[in-house]
Structure 1
Amino acid sequence: MFHKQIATVSAAALLAFSAVPGLAETHAMTEHPETGEALAAEQTYSYRLLDQFPTLDPQLNEETAGNHVIRQLFEGLMIQDAEGNLRPGVAEGFEASEGNTVYTFKLREDATWSNGDPVTAQDFVYGWQRAADPETASPYAWYVELTSMKNAAQIVAGEMDPSELGVEAVDERTLKVTLTQPLPYFPAMTTYATLLPAHKATIEEFGSDWTRPENMVNNGAYNLKELALNEYFTLEKNPEYWDAENVIIEEVTGLVINDENQALTRYESGEFDMLEPLPAGAYPRLEEERPDEAHSVPRLCSYYYAFNLRDDAKPELQDPKVREALNLAVDREVIVDQILQGGQTPAYNFAHAATAGFEMPNIAMASMSQAERDARAKELMEEAGVDELELKLIYNTSENHKQIATVVTQMWKQKLGVETTLENMEWSTYLDVRKAGNFDLARSAWCGDYNEASTFLDLLTTTHGSNDGQFSNEEYDALMAASKTSDTPNEQYSQAEQIIAEQSAIIPVYHYSNTFLLNPAVKGFPMQNVENNWYVKDFYRTAEE
């Protein structure tokens, strides 16, 4: 069970994460001191990004591409190992008390910022208050509220001063967090970008320019060396990082390549080390041709279409019967078996099957044949009195998203006579348009910020900051609120999933697997971390044979 994975880090556990003897001499050695593998003379790692990340400000981040980079630049209280379990980051460990409502973290004495300043408990207090402060306008302010920190909801709503947030620096190395209700998975939430520390002096001096390479002060294993928007970025090893002597990879490069097929061609020519995701349908061939490079592993993400349910949105979509008809008409088997072909699974519920401790709900439409679903979809449209419907579906630029959207809208047209206009846009614009509600349906995906079902199901609560479709249901909200203090939260989660299905709050399409190509010379990638939280500081490059 998930809760058992995040018990207080003991002294024995800390020893397991201590420096490996002799690793400091890695770069002068020809062999890895633990595995005996021959090391490459140049320790580099490079990978492809589908889109340019909008920001490298941890408190302003809201998407995956930026989070991958931020994870290399900054370090939180806790980080994750190759299986997704917690391990010490800036904090050496933590203690839970008062029924999991008070958490005390002890910070390591050797943690420093890239400019040499010590990382203190106050840096976390400042970062967390900054994330909750309405003046920061963080798109992830809701995440602070989700932690149940004392006064978080009132601060996010602008009703209290950020200084009242339930986090305090007892001293430079002790951080105390007070919650309003028990939350056994709170320590896991500290691994996400929103709860990373922030260097106050730098932010105050440079304002929004503080994340530029020449200005940034960070505390992770790498520093930002270069950044060319929509082209590339490079990171270099941070000599001030507390565990720098054990970091083997010296330089990291990310290349922004929007076209999946072009990205594959460039990977095959040896331009970079990792390609994720693969072009739709390419995995079976690549697995056969490149068995040492092609991988498909569970990924804690769910792909879905969000309905715009705002009061002034398309009136037909306010009718649950119309939404259900559109939901039923989507043939998920075609999408995963004929288009994607990478180990993805059809989704009839929201939370991913690989979520720790989650019991998959029994959704009625999942046991129906597609023919039965199609017949019921037509009946529902007739019952709703809708014989003509025109919709606009938006998605961010990607050949994979385009293929799926094209097939889905053809299903709607052939089965229900629904006409759909497709609009694609680059990532940052897409996020803004979706947030503003300028759509009928929006291609969406949610990747777990932590490994517990609430990371998915909280998304559809009325006040959630990323509930861009603005689904709202009082019973659903009450269930998710009750789950926070329940000894058996899966009961609430199952009921919540039933409401999502009965109301067709969204159209779940598939549960992700992570299909990617990885240069076999690069070792240390966490294949079993379903959150796909990788840390380049754990990687190393072996010599060519």
Structure 2
Amino acid sequence: MKITTLLASSVLALSLAWQAQAANVPEGVTLAQNQTYTFWLLDAIKSMDPQLNTDVEGSDVLRNLFEGLYNEDSKGGLVPGVALSHDVSEDGKTYTFQLRDDAKWSNGEPVTANDFVYAWRRLADPKTASEYAWYIELMQVENAADVIAGKMAPDQLGVTALDDHTLEVKIAAPMPYFPQMLVHTSTFPVPQKVIEANGDNWTRAGTLVGNGAYTLTEHTLGERVVMTKNDTYWDAEHTVLDTLIALTINDVNQGLTRYMAGELDRVDMPAGQYPRMEKEYPDQAISVPYNCSYIYMLNVGPKGPEALKDARVRKALSYAIDRDVIVDRILQGGQHAAYNWTHWATAGFEIPDIEYADWTQAERVEKAKELLAEAGYGPDHPLTLRLQYNTSEDHKKIAIAASQMLKQIGVTLTLDNYEWKVHTDRMQNQDFDMARYAWCGDYNEASTYLDLMASYSGHNNGQFYNDAYDAVIKQSKTAEDPLPLYQEAELILADQMPIIPIYHYAKVFMLKEDIKGWPVDNLNQSWYGKDLYRVAE
């Protein structure tokens, strides 16, 4: 049930008459005695704090330790979390959420509307220094921009607890997809008393207090995360898995080896392995569209190389990369070659006609050579750049292929490999020329991609600042039909090329046959341990 299609009445009273989206075990199924689920992580979780986390893998963990207003079902639709329903005012700018009265923190205390108020103010507060503060501005919460800028106090943010179980949110302009944005971890409630008593240490195992279906039992950074069933969770009765274990394994090939040895229940597939694994293990190998796009971000800001300030150079780099080789020969998992930013399967989005996407690769390479020559680069003035990527055999393979492709047009790439935290820190400090980057949508709507390249974005690490682009994105926020504006934004990106689109993701992974309930039809692939279960073999 999509809430965004219901904004026609003068006052919308959305009664979410949905069943609890917990493990739905069919009648007659015998559950296994072992209800532990062990999954793979490529990188260490940088933060267990909902307002500070920026990583997809961190979100996978936090969705189990905390719960926001809404969750997603197996197809990506909204289902109740802490909120049971909401009303929308006639002008579409005031949301009133009715919260359940049986939501509790893992220490037994009730979850109230004030916990959301505290969390959202904390997200916007400059003192928190959250990289995701911009998200609450994207949500258009009243006064968010001024709070983030330090021009207003956090208590001026447009979020109010009318009582313990009623939360009011005021937004600056009607935005039909606003409820969809509430599944993001940055909007989850956090326990004020625990944070104030423990400071930065509040997220440690044994100290962290959450309101999700699981509690944090162990966290060894870069090695493992262990979560156990939270008996105070409002729907604990229907939660089947009793233990979730995440193992950090930086080598995806090693991850697959350990999966085959029975140490993991789920692991992402190494590049090129899907055809073989799908043939040999058809009931375990899975490939489905996934709401992420893989790019090389270009540093066009003051700290970036002079060459990348020229759009001709940026286009040449992009044109020279043969996406079909990367998708069909290296990855081989159902990914789509990308010539634009927004994932092709995003709800309500249609890719505009992007000229270079229709050229042959030979035509792209020839045009790339022409543009480089126009920009003054050639045998007598060679162009050398550095491309950094985070530790992964797959990223390495793609980077090596890209360097060979760019060599055809006279560009030399030096490849730099960093662990995830170093890689992201360098990007945030604009300490890079070109950098491997991927963005996974925070919700299933094109703005989650296109907002990132606006000047106000907290993740615009390449510092692409373009007035025309900003104007289009701003206009899209109040447009009755934003699609033409989204397409215009994509065309600006194709013309200015601050990023090099490489491919649109498919989620390619191995999942043990006895693990049931995985949301394969959810484009975001947002999973909750409480929805999964293991059957007897």
Query: What's the TM-score once normalised by structure 2's chain length?
Result: 0.97
Contact 1:332–1:346 (8 Å) recurs in 2: yes
Which residue of structure 1 lines up, in the alignment, with residue 39 of structure 2?
47
Q: CA deviation at 1:4?
A: 3.9
CA apart distance, 1:232 = 0.7
Three-state SS of the structure 1 residue aligned to 2:437 is strand
Q: Which residue of 1 aligns with 2:395?
A: 401
Is 1:189–1:450's contact at 8 Å kept on the other side of the alignment? Answer: yes
Aligned counterparts, 1:128-527, within 5 A:
128-276=120-268, 278-387=269-378, 388-413=382-407, 415-527=408-520
Determine if contact 1:2/1:356 at 8 Å carries over to the other structure: no
1:325 counterpart letter in structure 2: A
Q: Which amino acid aligns with 2:57?
A: A
Give distance in 2, aligned partners of 1:49 and 1:207. 27
CA separation in 2, counterparts of 1:500 and 1:359?
15
1:4-43 per-residue CA deviation (whole Å, 9 max, x = no partner) reads: 46776854x42x31489xx9xxxxxxxx863321110121
**Aligned partners of 1:271, 1:375: CA distance in 2, in Å?**
49
State how far apart, in whole Å, the 1-side matches of 2:101 and 2:117 are: 17
- Residue 535 of structure 1 corresponds to 528
Q: SS of the residue aligned with 2:39?
A: strand
Over the residues paired in the alignment, what is the CA RMSD in angstroms? 1.4
* Aligned partner of 1:17 among 16, 19, 34: 19
The match for 1:87 among 76, 79, 82 is 79
| 2:287–2:333 CA contact under 8 A, matched in 1 | yes
Aligned mates of 2:80, 2:464 — CA distance in 1: 38
SS of 2:312 mapped into structure 1: helix
CA contact under 8 A between 2:454 and 2:465: conserved in structure 1?
yes
> For 2:476 and 2:214, how far apart are their aligned partners in 1?
38
Residues 121-159 of structure 1 deviation map (CA, whole Å, 9 limit, x = unaligned):
000000000000000000100001111000000011111
Q: Distance in 2 between matches of 1:35 and 1:299?
A: 31
Over residues 401-441 of structure 1, what are the superposed CA-to-partner deviations in whole Å (9 max), with x where a residue is unaligned?
A: 0000110011001x211111111111111110110011100
Deviation above 2 Å: which 4+ runs of structure 1? Answer: 1-11, 32-35
What is the CA distance between 1:98 and its match in structure 2? Answer: 3.1
Q: Partners of 1:4 and 1:461 in 2: how far apart?
A: 24
Q: Which residue of 2 is the match for residue 104 of structure 1?
A: 96
The count of aligned residue pairs is 530
- Letter paired with 1:317: L
Does structure 2 retain, via aligned residues, the 8 Å contact 1:6–1:86? no
Instruction: Report if the CA contact (8 A) 2:215-2:230 is conserved.
Output: yes
Q: Deviations over 1:85-128 (max 9, x none)?
A: 00100000111113321111100010000001100000000000
Distance 1:379 1:350 in 2: 24
Sort the Cα spacing of 1:51 and 1:338 in 2 relative to 1 into closer, same or farther, 3 A.
same
- 8 A contact 1:19–1:246 mirrored in 2: no
Matched, 1:113 2:105: yes
Cross-structure match for 2:48: 56
- The secondary structure found in structure 2 opposite 1:511 is strand
Q: Determine helix, strand or coil for the equivalent of 1:424.
A: strand
Compared CA separation, residues 2 and 368, structure 1 to 2 (3 A):
farther
Distance, in Å, in 2 between the alignment partners of 1:147 and 1:424 is 35
- In the alignment, the residues of structure 2 paired with residue 19 and residue 216 of structure 1 have an alpha-carbon distance, to the nearest angstrom, of 25
- 2:4 and 2:177 in contact (8 A); partners too: no
Contact 1:6 1:85 in 2 (8 A): no
Partner deviation per Cα, 1:336-387 (whole Å, 9 max, x = no partner): 0000000000000000011111111111011100011011011111111112
Residues 300-343 of structure 1: per-residue CA shift (max 9 Å, x gap) = 00000010011232111101000000010000000000000000
**8 Å CA contact retained: 1:114, 1:218:** yes
Runs (5+) with no aligned partner, structure 2: none
Superimposed CA distance per residue, residues 49-94 of structure 1 (whole angstroms, 9 cap, x where no aligned partner): 0001100100001110100000000000011000000010000011
Mapped to 1, the partners of 2:21 and 2:428 lie a distance apart of 45
Distance 1:184 1:351 in 2: 19
- Residues 458-496 of structure 1 show CA distances to partners (whole Å, capped at 9, x for unaligned) of 111012110000111100000000000001101110110
- 8 Å Cα contact 1:5-1:85 kept in structure 2: no
Alpha-carbon distance in structure 2 between the residues aligned to 1:538 and 1:525 = 8
Tell whether the 8 Å contact from 1:2 to 1:451 is kept in structure 2 after alignment: no
Distance 1:514 1:18, change over 3 A: closer
Structure 1 residue ranges without an equivalent (≥5): 24-31
Partner of 1:28: none
> How high is the TM-score relative to the length of structure 1?
0.95
Counterpart AA for 2:191: H
Mapped contact 2:298–2:435 kept (Cα < 8 A): yes
Bigger mean CA deviation after superposition, 36-45 or 442-451: 36-45
CA–CA distance in structure 2, aligned partners of residues 339 and 35 of structure 1 = 43
Cα distance in 2 between the residues matched to 1:18 and 1:264: 34
Please tell me whether the aligned partners of residues 107 and 173 of structure 1 are also in contact (alpha carbons under 8 angstroms): yes
CA distance in 2, matches of 1:43, 1:6: 39
Q: Distance in 2 between matches of 1:33 and 1:445?
A: 35
Relative distance call for 1:33 and 1:402 in structure 2 (3 A) is: closer
Give 1:56's aligned amino acid: M
Q: Which amino acid aligns with 2:452?
A: L
Task: Please point out which of 26, 31, 49 is paired with 1:34.
Answer: 26
SS of the aligned residue for 1:533 comes to coil
Distance in 2 (CA, whole Å) between partners of 1:459 and 1:35 is: 45
Distance in structure 1 (CA, Å) of the matches to 2:218 and 2:13: 37
- What amino acid is the match of 2:291? L
How far the C-alpha of 1:167 sits from its partner, in A, is: 0.3
Say whether the 8 Å CA contact 2:20–2:80 is kept in structure 1: no
**Distance (Å, rounded) in 1 between the aligned partners of 2:299 and 2:393:** 24
